[in-house]
Chains A and B, each alone.
Chain A
Amino acid sequence: MTTDLGFWTLQALNALQLSMLLFLLSVGLTVIFGLMHFVNLAHGALYALGAYFAASFAAIWGYWAAFLLAPVAVAGVGVLLYSGFIQRMRKSGPMAQVLVTFGLIFVLLDLTRIVWGDLPLAIEVPAMLGGRLAFLGVEYPTYRLFIIVLGLVVLAGLAFVLGRTQIGAMIRAGVDNDEMAACLGINVERLFFCVFCVGCALAGLAGAVAAPLLSVSPDMGLQILIPTLIVIVIGGLGSLKGAVAGSLIYGFVQTFGAVLAPQLSSVLIYALLAAVLVIKPVGLFPAKG
């Protein structure tokens, strides 16, 4: 195609930016699953809510306030969801959970339409991050670099919390064997609740940072849901490593597939997912053996 190094750098950065956005979404979903064995299809809807909250807050207080407040607001919605539905559905099978959260998608989608209307909203990239930066010999939008950096910061933060702190050890123990962890005096139920809220906040954060890139529309949650699910299933449910690997695989396959084989690109990622499931039915890095 081309031997120009700048082209490859640009595509790699695009892929990395998509990966980081997906990482923010999938890490919450995957840890919620690993810890609670709970399948939350409404995670995409929370991302859309994050984008809408960000759009509303940005119109009043500017972008940075929205960036900070949207995750908090989405976490608030998460608290409502948790006490209303999820706590009660914890012991049901995956199918009941899939269905309840599928119903929640319908409800949240129409609620956003009622509150914010059907027309897509747009929010401006903050002035500080507008423009382009020269980076490795290419000009790249600063805002997209910001997303990559943000993803890496969140990744580092989570890796530190999960790997090096006592809370992290408790979460890992809960993922490994929740009954045994409860026997050791860990309040698994409260841990679940905290992890769920953090996962929701991360989904809201992803929505807030994605909002200036895409237009904020009611179906953005549905559009992102399938890629997020692919990421966590390829990576293996429940593990940070899996979420990172899955996001990177998805981002790079999608971006380079679209450039190198446009006809195949949309099928490619699904074929890859099917291949992973055939060879390793529980994903590449599952949390449990």
Chain B
Amino acid sequence: MFHHTPFRYAALVLLASGALFQAFTAQYFGLEILTEILILAMLVLALDMVAGFGGMVSLCHGALMGVGAYGYAVLSTTAGLTPPVAMAAAVGITAGISWVIGAICSRSHGIYFIMATLAFGQMAYSYVFEAPIFGGDDGLGGIERLDLSIIGVDLNDTRTFALFCLVTLAAMYGLAVMILRSGLGRSFSGVMHNEQRMRALGLTVWRIKADVFGLSGMIAGVAGVLAAQHIMYISPGLMAWTVSGEALVVVILGGLGTLVGPLVGAAVFVVLKHELSSLTTYWHLIVGVILIGVVMSRANGIFGFIENSFAARSKTTEINPKAMEVTKDA
């Protein structure tokens, strides 16, 4: 189950104040980077919820984000719904689809689960790539942002939009913590540790997995809607499996099963990507080396590593032993 340690609170406060500072002081480019970080953070939050707390290592979360983005784009432009309705519908559709995927894949474990989710993600990708209604490989443009002028907020302003994403991310983080602390979330962690025992206790394992996967997909859908509103244009590239792979990389870089770690990972990843790609076109090489280094060092990501060494020194917080277990069971 998810615990907030003082260390985690401190990290959250630090992250939030960093984001706020950036949101109020940065220029256009800095704000774009901040928004990118916040949206990626939302996606990896959703992924960490299922991968870190239930061992469901999904390679379709990028595609789920794409479903949210495309759902919003099509509903708000072609179908002509107003942005709030289109947003709600797109998030609902994404949650529904991921519930179904979670239910179907709930019987698979380990590498088969990874492959099954990959299959569903690629299915969505290749469908969108071909279907004329989704603009095919040209993508879709002309996507509007949510109109909040009624309360005096103009989201077409870059700074306001970044703040809007920050508020949404905070809400999604709260939601994820609530879900993980609820009975459902506890059962979910129980299923990861011993599925047979949970079944013997009378729980319907597939339902638990599907429910949490659906909720996680919902958060990914929110990230997708915001991504579509951010760039105001979407292309099928958003749904390619490498996006899901990258999301997984971010979770690992940050710290699996810590919920705070992936947020750190998202910030580090996006900043690293922009810094490196301005230096060299071979930035993937460096990211690859860092990834291999982090996984082979057996530390639980950047955040997990700092947290563990901090805990080992002060002995006030318990070391997070779950990290290694997850890597073994997953």
Q: A and B bound?
A: yes
Chain A residues close to B by CB (< 8 Å)? 33, 39, 85, 88-89, 92-96, 98-100, 102-107, 109-111, 113-114, 222, 226, 229-230, 233, 237, 263, 266-267, 270-271, 273-274, 277-278, 281-282
Contact residues of B between 169 and 210, Cβ < 8 Å to A: none
Determine which of B249, B289, B290, B330 lies in contact with A93 in the assembled complex, contact meaning CB atoms within 8 Å: B330
CB-based nearest A residue for B292: A103
Q: Are A267 and B126 in touch, CB under 8 angstroms?
A: yes
- In the complex, which residues of chain B have a beta carbon less than 8 angstroms from the beta carbon of A107? 284-285, 288-289, 292
Answer whether A274 and B120 are a contact pair too, CB < 8 Å, given A98-B114, A99-B248, A107-B285.
Answer: yes
Answer whether A99 and B126 are a contact pair too, CB < 8 Å, given A94-B330, A107-B285.
Answer: no
Q: Is B282 at the interface (CB under 8 A from chain A)?
A: yes
Q: Are A85 and B296 in touch, CB under 8 angstroms?
A: yes
Please report the C-alpha to C-alpha distance between residue A271 and residue B328 in the assembled complex, in whole angstroms. 30
CB distance from B315 to the nearest CB of A (A): 28
10 A-B pairs whose Cβ atoms sit less than 8 Å apart in the complex: A88-B296, A93-B110, A99-B249, A103-B289, A103-B291, A104-B288, A114-B285, A226-B122, A229-B115, A233-B112
CB distance from B8 to the nearest CB of A (A): 23
- In the complex, which residues of chain B have a beta carbon less than 8 angstroms from the beta carbon of A282? 112
Determine which of B241, B245, B252, B282 lies in contact with A114 in the assembled complex, contact meaning CB atoms within 8 Å: B282
- In the complex, which residues of chain B have a beta carbon less than 8 angstroms from the beta carbon of A94? 57, 110-111, 114, 330
Q: Is B226 at the interface (CB under 8 A from chain A)?
A: no
Please report the C-alpha to C-alpha distance between residue A100 and residue B327 in the assembled complex, in whole angstroms. 12
Most buried by B among A93, A111, A237: A93
Please report the C-alpha to C-alpha distance between residue A111 and residue B108 in the assembled complex, in whole angstroms. 35
- In the complex, which residues of chain B have a beta carbon less than 8 angstroms from the beta carbon of A111? 285
Answer whether A277 and B112 are a contact pair too, CB < 8 Å, given A263-B130, A267-B126.
Answer: yes
Contact mask for chain B residues 221-264; partner A; CB cutoff 8 A; 1 contact, 0 none: 00000000000000000000110010011001000000000000
CB-based nearest B residue for A226: B122
Contact residues of B between 1 and 46, Cβ < 8 Å to A: none
Q: Is B127 at the interface (CB under 8 A from chain A)?
A: yes
CB distance from A280 to the nearest CB of B (A): 10
CB distance from B236 to the nearest CB of A (A): 11
CB-based nearest B residue for A286: B112
CB distance from A96 to the nearest CB of B (A): 5
Q: Is B138 at the interface (CB under 8 A from chain A)?
A: no
- In the complex, which residues of chain A have a beta carbon less than 8 angstroms from the beta carbon of B51? 95
Q: Are A281 and B282 in touch, CB under 8 angstroms?
A: no
CB-based nearest A residue for B290: A103
CB distance from B130 to the nearest CB of A (A): 6
Determine which of A39, A100, A109, A277 lies in contact with B284 in the assembled complex, contact meaning CB atoms within 8 Å: A109
CB distance from B227 to the nearest CB of A (A): 22
CB distance from B329 to the nearest CB of A (A): 7
CB-based nearest B residue for A230: B119
- In the complex, which residues of chain B have a beta carbon less than 8 angstroms from the beta carbon of A266? 126-127, 129-130
CB-based nearest A residue for B120: A274
Please report the C-alpha to C-alpha distance between residue A105 and residue B285 in the assembled complex, in whole angstroms. 9
- In the complex, which residues of chain B have a beta carbon less than 8 angstroms from the beta carbon of A233? 112, 115, 119
Q: Are A106 and B291 in touch, CB under 8 angstroms?
A: yes
- In the complex, which residues of chain A have a beta carbon less than 8 angstroms from the beta carbon of B105? 277
Q: Are B114 and A226 in touch, CB under 8 angstroms?
A: no
Please report the C-alpha to C-alpha distance between residue A237 and residue B112 in the assembled complex, in whole angstroms. 10
- In the complex, which residues of chain B have a beta carbon less than 8 angstroms from the beta carbon of A270? 119-120, 122-123, 126
Q: Are A102 and B245 in touch, CB under 8 angstroms?
A: yes
Please report the C-alpha to C-alpha distance between residue A95 and residue B109 in the assembled complex, in whole angstroms. 11
Q: Is B302 at the interface (CB under 8 A from chain A)?
A: no
Q: Are A89 and B114 in touch, CB under 8 angstroms?
A: no
CB distance from A3 to the nearest CB of B (A): 28
CB-based nearest A residue for B283: A110
Answer whether A277 and B119 are a contact pair too, CB < 8 Å, given A95-B327, A100-B295.
Answer: yes
Please report the C-alpha to C-alpha distance between residue A233 and residue B295 in the assembled complex, in whole angstroms. 25
Q: Is B107 at the interface (CB under 8 A from chain A)?
A: yes
Q: Are A99 and B122 in touch, CB under 8 angstroms?
A: no
- In the complex, which residues of chain B have a beta carbon less than 8 angstroms from the beta carbon of A229? 115, 118
CB-based nearest A residue for B293: A103
CB-based nearest A residue for B253: A99
CB distance from A185 to the nearest CB of B (A): 29
Please report the C-alpha to C-alpha distance between residue A107 and residue B290 in the assembled complex, in whole angstroms. 10
- In the complex, which residues of chain A have a beta carbon less than 8 angstroms from the beta carbon of B248? 98-99, 102
Most buried by B among A39, A94, A281: A94
- In the complex, which residues of chain A have a beta carbon less than 8 angstroms from the beta carbon of B120? 270, 274
Q: Are A93 and B328 in touch, CB under 8 angstroms?
A: yes
